[in-house]
Amino acid sequence: MLKVGFIGWRGMVGSVLLQRMREESDFDGLESHFFSTSNAGGAPPPEAHHKTLLDAHDIETLKRFDVLVSCQGGDYTKRVFAPLRRDGWSGYWIDAASTLRMEKDAVLLLDPVNRPVIEAGLRDGVKSYIGSNCTVSCMLMGLAGLFQHDMVEWMTTMTYQAASGAGAAKMLELVKQMGRLAGKADATPGASTDALLAEQLVTAEQRHPDFPVAEIGAPLAGSLLAWIDSEVPGGQTREEWKGEAETNKIMGTKRTIPVDGICVRIGTMRCHSQGVCVKLRRDVPLDDIEGILRASNPWVRVIPNTKEATLKCLTPAAVSGTLNVPVGRVHKLRMGPEYLGAFTVGDQLLWGAAEPLRRFLGMLRDRS
């Protein structure tokens, strides 16, 4: 039986991973152990083989596992991965963090799109399997068909990313911010009937020195933040840099397809959405494009380009907690017949994080 260690299981990605594994009875056939960076000796979840949480920094303990699944974050990966391998550990490392994604001996996980690459990695003895960037994964779950048919000359992605993409603590702070704004308007006479008064109260509250911003760094409820992750040379953020780097690595493209845009954090709880402009390599009729998108994987939903269908199906409210990846607003842009506009929404905690990890762990279990 595969002996698997889970690190980071109580964070956003980790808790969604456990939830999905329970739904799919994935713990059957695994000997599961749970680690903590902050609470070794504490109580693990009910699936634990070992009845206390193990120390996630203890290399000797980590080395005893066939598979380690880390949803803990990049700093943790930086701290333990190299010492583990240096000490001769040759187990499978499955990780949600970005640290190892661009390493030559790491395979990116998004099996509905790149299963042959993952299978080749297993055949070739690759031992590091890394979840892809959440925005890229959600985009490719919707639009991979265009890449598979070599139709993309370049692509822009303008994103609308949920607070949960930044982790549990930021999400909890967003709820606190929402509560402060709604509470202020509720408690002020006249604010439920005077929209300008409501807006002025909300704006003043967002600017109040006591407004809770310790985690996010700025008001996000009722606002947006056009910067995600750190700066890289050339004016991009790291989140924007990943768009091209990871799309091309996942798809195994022969030439680098330019992918760029502006990544924006918005005050939604869950789901990353993005408006894309695709410069096609040739003019292809819309019906053919929709057919290609639809055939790409069983989770894509091509949404008719109507107001009714868009408001019903193409929103984080409709998609959160589901594996469906709707692609809508599909139409040719005014720039010419080779310019395609579209909008996608995907649950970044599922396809953008936990689900590819869960499915790969299942592949390992089935092989053991």
Stretch in the footprint of ligand NAP (CB under 6 A) among 12-20, 117-125, 206-214, 355-363: 12-20
Cβ at position 47, least distance to ligand NAP in Å: 16
Q: Is 169 in the site for ligand NAP (CB under 6 A)?
A: yes
Cβ at position 75, least distance to ligand NAP in Å: 8
Residue 66 has which token pair?
Answer: 């066939």
- Beta-bridge partner residues of 224: 266
Cβ at position 165, least distance to ligand NAP in Å: 4
Stretch in the footprint of ligand NAP (CB under 6 A) among 147-155, 165-173, 297-305, 329-337: 165-173
Cα distances (Å, whole numbers) of residue 62 to 8, 29, 269, 290:
14, 20, 33, 47
What is the maximum alpha-carbon separation in the chain? 68
Question: Measured from the CB atom, is 289 or 350 closer to ligand NAP?
Answer: 350
* Distance in angstroms (rounded) separating the CA atoms of residues 62 and 59: 5
* Distance in angstroms (rounded) separating the CA atoms of residues 41 and 358: 26
Among 25, 38, 193, 230, binds ligand NAP (CB under 6 A): 38
Question: Measured from the CB atom, is 47 or 150 closer to ligand NAP?
Answer: 47
Sequence length of the chain is 368
Nearest CA to 299 among 324, 320, 319?
A: 324
Question: Measured from the CB atom, is 103 or 283 closer to ligand NAP?
Answer: 103
Where does residue 321 fall: left (phi above 0), alpha (psi -120 to 50 degrees), or beta otherwise?
left
Question: Measured from the CB atom, is 201 or 354 closer to ligand NAP?
Answer: 354
Catalytic residue among 71, 263, 271, 272: 272
- 3-class DSSP state of 366: helix
Among 353, 357, 359, 361, binds ligand NAP (CB under 6 A): 353
The number of beta carbons lying within 10 Å of the beta carbon of residue 235 is: 7
Catalytic residue among 33, 71, 134, 263: 134
Q: Which residue has the tokens 């807006």?
A: 199
Strand 152-161 to 106-109 pairing: unpaired
- 3-class DSSP state of 113: helix
* Number of residues located near ligand NAP, criterion CB under 6 A: 26
Among 205, 348, 350, 356, binds ligand NAP (CB under 6 A): 348
Binding-residue pattern over the window 66 to 105 for ligand NAP, x denoting contact by CB under 6 A: -----xxxx---------------------xx--------
Q: Is 268 in the site for ligand NAP (CB under 6 A)?
A: no
Stretch in the footprint of ligand NAP (CB under 6 A) among 35-43, 101-109, 210-218, 280-288: 35-43
Among 32, 164, 296, 297, binds ligand NAP (CB under 6 A): 164
Cβ at position 6, least distance to ligand NAP in Å: 10
Q: Is 165 in the site for ligand NAP (CB under 6 A)?
A: yes
Listing DSSP states for 43-103 in one string gives: PPPTT-SSSSPEETT-HHHHTT-SEEEE-S-HHHHHHHHHHHHHTT--SEEEESSSTTTT-
212 neighbors 202 (Cβ within 8 angstroms): no
Stretch in the footprint of ligand NAP (CB under 6 A) among 65-73, 144-152, 204-212, 318-326: 65-73
Active site residue 134: yes
Question: Measured from the CB atom, is 67 or 354 closer to ligand NAP?
Answer: 354
Within 8 A by CB and 6+ apart from 278, the residues are 143, 146, 151, 152, 154, 155, 339, 340, 341, 342
Q: Is 134 in the site for ligand NAP (CB under 6 A)?
A: yes
Cβ at position 5, least distance to ligand NAP in Å: 13
Cβ at position 295, least distance to ligand NAP in Å: 26
Q: Is 168 in the site for ligand NAP (CB under 6 A)?
A: yes
Where does residue 100 fall: left (phi above 0), alpha (psi -120 to 50 degrees), or beta otherwise?
alpha
* Distance in angstroms (rounded) separating the CA atoms of residues 104 and 190: 61
User: What amino acid positions are annotated as catalytic residues?
Assistant: 134, 272
Binding site residues, ligand NAP, CB under 6 A: 8, 10-14, 36-38, 71-74, 96-97, 131, 134, 164-165, 167-169, 348-349, 352-353
